C-alpha cells in the first residue's frame, strides 16, 4: 500500500437543488477526495487550510474516517472558504451564488515531512501555483494526479501549463478538454493533452461516464443510471478520490489497473449524488459498495454472438 497526499479545499458549502436547500455544510474538494480515498484504508493525509470558525466536530469526523489531518492548517483568526451554488432543473448546470476565498487566499500548503515521500499525490482543484508548490515538496512520487477547471485556464494558463507538464494524470471534463486544446474531438484533445506532459488523460462526461486515454488506448467507464440525482456537488472530486485511493491501495499504476480505478471512482461518485453534500459518503458501507460495483459489472458485461 502506498501513502497518499491530498491537496485541496476543506470548506463550507451552501447548496440549493430542485429537491431542497442547505445552510452551511461540510464541503470542499479535499473533503470529498479524502472521504472517497478512505474507503480503501489508505495512509492518506489532507493538506488544506480552514479558519477558526471551522467546527472541531468536522475535523474529528474526517479523522474518524481514517484521514490523517496533520496537514490541515487552522488559522484561528480567519474564516473558512465558502461556496454557495444553485442547480438548475437539469442538475447539470448551476449558478455560483457566492465564493469567499477567506483563508484560502493566502494558503501556502505544507506537506507533513512523513508524507513527502508519498507515491501518490492528488492535486485537487486549486490555484496552479499552489499545486506547483506541493509538487516541489515531494521527493519520491510515482503518480501525480491533477484536477483543474476552466477558471484556471481563463486566468492562469501559463502557470497551469507548468503544472500539466509535471503530472502523470490529468482529470478534466469534456468542455475543459476542448477549451484547453481547441479541439472538438475528445480523442484528438486527449492526444494533444498527453503531448503537454501527462501519460494518462481522464475526461469526465458527467452523467455519461468517463474516458481514460493512454497512448493510443481508450477505455470507457459508464455512469450508473440513477433514478434520482439529489445533489451533484462533489461528484467529480469523489470520482478522483476513488481513483487515487484504489491506485494507492494496490500500488499498481499501470493502464490496466487504472481501468479498475476508474470504475471504483465512478461507483463512489454515484453514491455522492444521492444526498446533500458529504452525507452519503459518511454513511456508506462496504456491502453497499460491493453491491454497486456488481451493478457496474452487470451494466457493461455481455456475451455477443458473431454472425
> Thinking of the domain 3-300, which architecture would CATH place it in?
3-Layer(aba) Sandwich (3.40)
Strand bridging mode 169-173 / 143-147: parallel
At residue 2, φ and ψ (nearest 5 deg) are: -100, 155
Domain ranges of the chain: 3-300
> Can you give the pLDDT at residue 151?
87
Provide the pLDDT confidence category of residue 305 given band limits of 50, 70 and 90.
confident
Provide the pLDDT confidence category of residue 88 given band limits of 50, 70 and 90.
confident
Provide the pLDDT confidence category of residue 2 given band limits of 50, 70 and 90.
confident
Tell me the mean pLDDT in the region 74-83.
Answer: 96
Order of strands, sheet of 210-214, starting from the edge strand that comes earlier in the sequence:
72-75, 43-51, 3-7, 120-123, 143-147, 169-173, 200-204, 210-214, 217-221
**Collapsing DSSP states into helix, strand and coil, what is residue 285?**
coil
Mean pLDDT for the chain? Answer: 93
Provide the pLDDT confidence category of residue 115 given band limits of 50, 70 and 90.
very high
Q: How far from chain centre, in Å, is Cα 111?
A: 18
Strand bridging mode 25-27 / 11-17: antiparallel
Tell me the mean pLDDT in the region 91-120.
Answer: 92
> Rounded to an integer, what distance in angstroms lies between the CA atom of residue 74 and that of residue 59?
10
> Can you give the pLDDT at residue 288?
94
Helical segments of 54-148, H only: 56-64, 128-137
| Residue 214, beta-bridge partner list | 200, 217
Kindly report, residue by residue over 198-230, the tens digit of the pLDDT.
999 999 987 788 999 999 999 999 888 887 788
Provide the pLDDT confidence category of residue 20 given band limits of 50, 70 and 90.
confident
Query: Comparing 127-141, 192-206, 233-247, 291-305, which segment has the lowest mean pLDDT?
Result: 291-305
> Rounded to an integer, what distance in angstroms lies between the CA atom of residue 307 and that of residue 304?
9
Q: Which of 14, 55, 51, 48 is nearest to 33 (CA)?
A: 48
pLDDT at residue 296 tops 90? no
Query: Is the distance from CB of 4 to CB of 248 less than 8 angstroms?
Result: yes
Report the sign of the C-alpha dihedral through residues 177, 175, 28, 82, in that order.
positive
Amino acid at each position: 500500500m502506498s501513502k497518499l497526499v491530498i491537496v485541496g479545499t476543506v470548506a463550507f458549502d451552501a447548496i440549493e437543488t430542485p429537491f431542497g436547500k442547505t445552510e452551511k455544510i461540510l464541503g470542499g474538494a479535499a473533503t470529498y477526495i479524502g472521504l472517497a480515498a478512505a474507503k480503501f484504508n489508505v495512509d492518506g493525509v489532507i493538506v488544506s487550510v480552514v479558519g477558526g470558525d471551522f467546527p472541531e466536530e468536522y475535523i474529528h469526523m474526517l479523522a474518524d474516517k481514517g484521514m490523517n489531518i496533520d496537514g490541515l492548517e487552522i488559522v484561528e483568526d480567519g474564516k473558512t472558504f465558502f461556496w454557495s451554488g444553485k442547480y438548475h432543473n437539469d442538475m447539470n448546470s448551476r449558478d455560483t451564488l457566492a465564493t469567499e476565498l477567506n483563508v484560502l487566499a493566502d494558503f501556502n500548503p505544507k506537506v507533513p515531512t512523513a508524507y513527502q515521500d508519498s507515491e501518490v499525490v492528488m492535486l485537487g482543484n486549486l490555484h496552479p501555483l499552489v499545486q506547483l508548490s506541493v509538487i516541489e515538496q515531494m521527493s519520491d512520487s510515482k503518480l501525480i494526479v491533477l484536477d483543474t477547471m476552466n477558471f484556471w485556464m481563463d486566468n492562469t494558463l501559463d502557470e497551469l501549463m507548468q503544472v500539466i507538464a509535471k503530472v502523470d494524470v490529468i482529470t478534466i471534463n469534456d468542455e475543459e478538454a476542448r477549451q484547453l486544446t481547441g479541439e472538438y474531438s475528445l480523442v484528438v484533445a486527449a492526444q494533444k493533452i498527453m503531448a503537454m506532459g501527462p501519460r494518462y488523460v481522464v475526461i469526465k462526461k458527467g452523467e455519461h461516464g468517463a474516458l481514460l486515454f493512454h497512448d493510443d488506448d481508450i477505455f470507457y467507464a459508464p455512469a450508473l443510471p440513477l433514478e434520482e440525482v439529489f445533489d451533484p456537488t462533489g461528484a467529480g472530486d469523489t470520482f478522483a478520490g476513488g481513483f487515487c485511493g484504489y491506485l494507492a491501495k494496490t500500488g499498481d499504476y499501470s493502464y490496466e489497473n487504472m481501468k479498475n480505478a476508474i470504475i471504483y471512482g465512478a461507483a463512489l461518485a454515484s453514491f455522492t449524488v444521492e444526498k446533500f453534500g458529504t452525507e452519503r459518503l459518511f454513511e456508506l458501507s462496504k456491502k453497499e459498495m460491493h453491491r454497486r460495483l456488481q451493478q457496474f459489472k452487470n451494466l457493461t458485461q455481455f456475451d455477443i454472438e458473431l454472425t
